[in-house]
A and B are shown apart, each in its own frame.
Chain A
């Protein structure tokens, strides 16, 4: 999305979702992954908004939906292209907006001619009439329609093209730069926005300033009184390949359970095992920490000072309630110490000092101070100056990039690993409400075992019958990369041919032993949402869970 309109972040705010006329939710199991945002979506429905859910699974949110487009996994682009097709061919798009604010419309119009609703219906497995009706409704709500999407869109090998096909639709509907509208990626982890904001990216310095853009590097070299490496760095995915080839020999991992959370566990583990020296800084002895040469005990959020930036670009203060346990130290303290050992001279002592240095180098958050955060609560970037109130929604008078919005003609790319006779089912992974990520935190909360006791492979009743499975029975799920044992849950939430698992119970079921190496070639986001698997009965044991 950054390529087309400037920045990859929610264009609008969470609270605005309750006041839209139409909500199009794609690849987001919102009631489970973002329960508090789903409350705003349900409110919108109660206020009279239409809710259209695009998801291969019959997720809980479909109970509130006007329509569920239950598409085949990985067929988002044909669907969104067909929606664009209908809007263009029936002359329903926001012509004034397209003419004044965008470029590339003619190419898009030509490109989507191939994507008739009938063609998309066949590829996506949904009725053509539903596609046509959705396009008409989205167009009718022009300027007041919000699209929300999550990892169901991005965690595909065509993830960035998925996003571009969605942004095309957003621009055709004239939904950028208006309240209660926009195109909104709902971010996963508490500070995933802040981590990227801070410049912890191989291509970007703080505030999304491109390291290879003229003048940027020089500005930071002057401020940091040090030379900066000129060329972009490598992503995690590339780094893991280079570990196996001996090109990357050392890694410093802060607060991440790579082995469990990354795709193809065996590959991730082999990569780290091939690395000469590993430092892990974390709060628990995770499976990743077990592979380290040095483990540094970090403070938890409850012991740390600083800020998190949420999904709606809102910077909010994190404050310590207690001292770190044992000899644990905050991430900021540890890194300040490490940096001084590497000869970095800087007059920084507290999180507040660090924030001030960062904001002075990044116009995006230049006006956000700790003092303001204490008084005003959260502030949404962009906020360039201290008298700027922050930005509720982006692209108001022009695209945030200062450029027109560029339409991106994109084509359907099926998932890298389709089902076949050997591995006839598709595994899609995701989240459940009462577990978080790899379970290191929710797994330690009392009572949570009563809500979801273990990993479950959700399977459609038809598939279960074919495989002669009973509910709760433990089976082996295998892919070309590995296999795990897991109890099955028979439910029509899963469509025919697809099973669903999370990855929050690594002690018993390491789901990512199954997932594939495929990733999006632009963002290098892994394809967690589709890989081919097989289910086998476990012969000897009739073990069931309970």
Chain B
């Protein structure tokens, strides 16, 4: 946190020289040179783990050759990095085929079907890795958890531990952990409880970091097809943090939300933004047409009729008691533009500064 100028050094990536900080990782360097490697266990927020070995690259320093995991290794002076040599590419394909042998068929992957092609299956396609290259090794039992938010499907878990890392290191919720060893490991809450009885806050970050279909949004999965989804970039309707979200629609119908990782909130959401930001929009109880109260009960009215009544009654009251006998209260829930119009309406439509918003409550 001191205002010290960071030292920089040059490295070469696939023949291109880039300048980077001395504390940079090899992954930062190769990405800044415009290249990329698969990173199945890496989430920039919880930091490098180095477990999946997909980001292995060839490096040469002072004539010494070695292969390092780009996410964990630091750059050094005179380093030359090669990201896609034949041997490394072949090696990645083999790892992918081993990982795929622990999972069910890509054809049934919940994330690929309902959201978008998952990282595992995107990478497998890129490297031509086959699902059935090795004998199937699905050993885990189905998870038994009836929480209404998070679907766990061990058949697609590749033990990358991004979910436990994001939960423990980033959210610091400490709700989930790795249970068992080796082939029999699985992701579970402590003492294998139901998530509802764990410290889980249902922020949904485990779902969003999961590179496969092992963890998905239970409210949405299966109700929507990835190829039909349209995403609208917008802002969560709840608190003043203003996290970025995408609204998911299919044929003009609202089907769910996802965090927006490009937004300043970096993909963060809480339980409300993740699981409560769209169902109310579709509620049957939404007001669908104007209402006018007559003799104590509401009846349906046309827009013209309703707005005529607003105009005539407000005008009457203003003429009788002056503009300051009317007040307008605008909304911290609505867009700024509507608030602007409300204050302009109060000031020059009615002629009063009696305009306030609900910021005090």
- State whether A64 and B329 are in contact (beta carbons under 8 Å apart), knowing that A295-B298, A328-B286, A335-B342 are contacts in the complex: no
Residue contact B333 to A190, C-beta cutoff 8 Å: yes
- Name the one of A43, A285, A308, A524 contacting B360, with C-beta atoms under 8 angstroms: A524
> For the complex, is B327 an interface residue (Cβ under 8 Å from A)?
yes
- Name the one of B235, B239, B254, B342 contacting A316, with C-beta atoms under 8 angstroms: B235
> For the complex, is A336 an interface residue (Cβ under 8 Å from B)?
yes
> For the complex, is B132 an interface residue (Cβ under 8 Å from A)?
no
Give the chain A neighbours of B241 by CB distance below 8 A: 14, 34, 36-37, 186, 310-311
> For the complex, is A399 an interface residue (Cβ under 8 Å from B)?
no
- State whether A308 and B336 are in contact (beta carbons under 8 Å apart), knowing that A250-B325, A326-B288, A450-B196 are contacts in the complex: yes
Interface centre among B254, B269, B272, B334 (most CB of A within 10 A): B334
Could you mark each residue 218-230 of chain A with 1 if its beta carbon is under 8 Å from any beta carbon of chain B, else 0? 0010001011110
- Of A95-103, A165-173, A405-413, A440-448, the one contacting chain B is A440-448
Give the chain B neighbours of A289 by CB distance below 8 A: 287
Residue contact B345 to A335, C-beta cutoff 8 Å: yes
Residue contact A450 to B289, C-beta cutoff 8 Å: no
Within 8 A of A (CB), among B170-210: 170-172, 196, 201-203
Give the chain B neighbours of A244 by CB distance below 8 A: none
Could you mark each residue 1-41 of chain A with 1 if its beta carbon is under 8 Å from any beta carbon of chain B, else 0? 00000000000001100010100000000000111110100
- Of B35-43, B58-66, B101-109, B275-283, the one contacting chain A is B275-283
CA of A456 to CA of B171, assembled, Å: 26
Could you mark each residue 197-241 of chain B with 1 if its beta carbon is under 8 Å from any beta carbon of chain A, else 0? 000011100000000000000010000000000101111111111
Residue contact B356 to A235, C-beta cutoff 8 Å: yes
CA of A256 to CA of B359, assembled, Å: 10
Give the chain B neighbours of A311 by CB distance below 8 A: 240-242
- Of B71-79, B80-88, B303-311, the one contacting chain A is B303-311
- Name the one of B293, B325, B343 contacting A293, with C-beta atoms under 8 angstroms: B293
Give the chain B neighbours of A248 by CB distance below 8 A: 325-327, 354
CA of A50 to CA of B339, assembled, Å: 40
Residue contact B270 to A233, C-beta cutoff 8 Å: no
Residue contact A295 to B353, C-beta cutoff 8 Å: no
CA of A362 to CA of B126, assembled, Å: 51
Give the chain B neighbours of A33 by CB distance below 8 A: 239
Residue contact A251 to B353, C-beta cutoff 8 Å: no
- Name the one of A252, A314, A451, A524 contacting B202, with C-beta atoms under 8 angstroms: A451
> For the complex, is A198 an interface residue (Cβ under 8 Å from B)?
yes
Residue contact B337 to A355, C-beta cutoff 8 Å: yes
Give the chain A neighbours of B265 by CB distance below 8 A: 14, 36
- Name the one of A43, A190, A295, A351 contacting B332, with C-beta atoms under 8 angstroms: A190
Give the chain A neighbours of B333 by CB distance below 8 A: 189-191, 255-256, 301
Residue contact A237 to B360, C-beta cutoff 8 Å: yes
Residue contact B309 to A254, C-beta cutoff 8 Å: no
Give the chain B neighbours of A180 by CB distance below 8 A: 1
Give the chain B neighbours of A36 by CB distance below 8 A: 241, 243, 265, 268-270, 273
Give the chain A neighbours of B334 by CB distance below 8 A: 191, 195, 254-255, 298, 304, 306, 331
CA of A232 to CA of B355, assembled, Å: 9
- State whether A351 and B335 are in contact (beta carbons under 8 Å apart), knowing that A36-B270, A234-B327, A294-B292 are contacts in the complex: yes
Residue contact B338 to A332, C-beta cutoff 8 Å: yes
> For the complex, is A144 an interface residue (Cβ under 8 Å from B)?
yes
Give the chain B neighbours of A303 by CB distance below 8 A: 281
Residue contact A39 to B268, C-beta cutoff 8 Å: yes
Chain A's nearest CB lies how many Å from the CB of B75?
23
> For the complex, is A284 an interface residue (Cβ under 8 Å from B)?
yes
CA of A227 to CA of B323, assembled, Å: 13
Residue contact B335 to A249, C-beta cutoff 8 Å: no
CA of A197 to CA of B336, assembled, Å: 8
> For the complex, is B321 an interface residue (Cβ under 8 Å from A)?
yes
CA of A340 to CA of B243, assembled, Å: 35
> For the complex, is A506 an interface residue (Cβ under 8 Å from B)?
no
Residue contact A300 to B280, C-beta cutoff 8 Å: yes
- State whether A206 and B1 are in contact (beta carbons under 8 Å apart), knowing that A39-B170, A237-B360, A285-B285 are contacts in the complex: no
Q: Name the residue of chain A whose CB is nearest to the CB of B232.
A: A321
- Name the one of B235, B238, B291 contacting A317, with C-beta atoms under 8 angstroms: B235
> For the complex, is B244 an interface residue (Cβ under 8 Å from A)?
yes
- Name the one of A189, A224, A377 contacting B344, with C-beta atoms under 8 angstroms: A224
CA of A277 to CA of B326, assembled, Å: 9
Q: Name the residue of chain B whose CB is nearest to the CB of A277.
A: B313
> For the complex, is A434 an interface residue (Cβ under 8 Å from B)?
yes
Residue contact B219 to A302, C-beta cutoff 8 Å: no
Residue contact B336 to A191, C-beta cutoff 8 Å: yes
- Name the one of B219, B301, B313, B324 contacting A446, with C-beta atoms under 8 angstroms: B219
Chain B's nearest CB lies how many Å from the CB of A288?
10
Chain A's nearest CB lies how many Å from the CB of B176?
16
Give the chain B neighbours of A239 by CB distance below 8 A: 327, 329, 354, 356
- Name the one of A64, A189, A433 contacting B172, with C-beta atoms under 8 angstroms: A64
Chain B's nearest CB lies how many Å from the CB of A45?
9
Residue contact A523 to B271, C-beta cutoff 8 Å: no
> For the complex, is A419 an interface residue (Cβ under 8 Å from B)?
no
- Of B7-15, B17-25, B134-142, B245-253, the one contacting chain A is B245-253
> For the complex, is B154 an interface residue (Cβ under 8 Å from A)?
no
Give the chain A neighbours of B353 by CB distance below 8 A: 202-203, 211, 229, 231-233
Residue contact A198 to B340, C-beta cutoff 8 Å: yes
- State whether A321 and B335 are in contact (beta carbons under 8 Å apart), knowing that A190-B235, A284-B286 are contacts in the complex: no
> For the complex, is A192 an interface residue (Cβ under 8 Å from B)?
yes
CA of A284 to CA of B1, assembled, Å: 49
Residue contact B240 to A198, C-beta cutoff 8 Å: no
> For the complex, is B357 an interface residue (Cβ under 8 Å from A)?
yes
Give the chain A neighbours of B298 by CB distance below 8 A: 295
Residue contact B328 to A444, C-beta cutoff 8 Å: no
Residue contact B232 to A319, C-beta cutoff 8 Å: yes
- Name the one of A189, A206, A255, A434 contacting B272, with C-beta atoms under 8 angstroms: A434
CA of A341 to CA of B252, assembled, Å: 32
- State whether A433 and B201 are in contact (beta carbons under 8 Å apart), knowing that A36-B270, A195-B358 are contacts in the complex: yes
Give the chain A neighbours of B249 by CB distance below 8 A: 321-322
Give the chain B neighbours of A228 by CB distance below 8 A: 347-348
CA of A293 to CA of B219, assembled, Å: 38
- State whether A444 and B283 are in contact (beta carbons under 8 Å apart), knowing that A250-B327, A318-B234 are contacts in the complex: yes
Q: Name the residue of chain B whose CB is nearest to the CB of A236.
A: B356
Chain B's nearest CB lies how many Å from the CB of A337?
6
CA of A337 to CA of B355, assembled, Å: 19
- State whether A195 and B240 are in contact (beta carbons under 8 Å apart), knowing that A294-B309, A302-B281 are contacts in the complex: no
Residue contact B335 to A199, C-beta cutoff 8 Å: no
Give the chain A neighbours of B243 by CB distance below 8 A: 36
Residue contact A190 to B238, C-beta cutoff 8 Å: yes
> For the complex, is A158 an interface residue (Cβ under 8 Å from B)?
no
Residue contact B332 to A337, C-beta cutoff 8 Å: no
Please list the 5 inter-chain residue pairs (A to B) with the smallest Cβ-Cβ separation, ordered nearest first.
A326-B288, A306-B335, A310-B242, A233-B353, A255-B331
12 A-B pairs with C-beta separation under 8 A: A190-B240, A192-B332, A195-B339, A198-B340, A226-B348, A254-B328, A292-B291, A292-B293, A332-B337, A377-B244, A433-B271, A434-B271
Supply 10 further A-B pairs (C-beta < 8 A) apart from A251-B326, A252-B342, A254-B338: A34-B239, A200-B342, A252-B345, A289-B287, A318-B235, A321-B230, A339-B349, A354-B341, A355-B340, A445-B279
